[in-house]
Amino acid sequence: MNLEAIATAWAPRLLSIMRVMAGLLFLQHGTAKLLKIPVMPNFANLNIMSLPGIAGILELVGGVLLIVGLFTRTTAFVLSGLMAVAYFIAHAPRGFYPILNAGELAALYCFVFLYIAAAGPGPWSYDAMRKK
């Protein structure tokens, strides 16, 4: 097999791996905000009904759903929107360039989730098992 054939064969599996890793990394934001794991001083007095509190709920639930690949397209679309809103509310007012306004992560999550919403969960997911 040549490199192109190997890449083509592994592309769906790597989509699943990317989805799981994005979900695991995103889940940390929700656990830090809501479960205090890991402890972050800036989330010590977080009000669950504030914008960061609501974002924490979406990060926690959405992260778990992405990890297992359940309702993946809808979840990824909602999380993409969450990250777009987070970027424009929290980062864009600090400056135009994401490197200067600390918005690279929000922008990257936004487009990774948008890709997952379009591409689907990949073969290693509950969504794929439900289709069989």
Q: If we measure between CA atoms, which residue out of 21, 120, 80, 27 comes closest to residue 88?
A: 80
Specify whether the CB–CB gap between 66 and 18 falls below 8 A. Answer: no
Q: Which pTM was predicted?
A: 0.94
Over its C-alpha atoms, the chain yields an Rg (Å, rounded) of 16
Confidence (pLDDT) at 30: 98
Residue 13 pLDDT > 90:
yes
Confidence (pLDDT) at 48: 95
Q: If we measure between CA atoms, which residue out of 10, 127, 110 comes closest to residue 70?
A: 127
What region, left, alpha or beta, does residue 119 occupy, with left being phi > 0 and alpha being psi -120 to 50 degrees?
A: alpha
Residues 84-131: tens digit of each pLDDT: 999 999 999 999 999 999 999 999 999 999 999 999 999 999 999 999
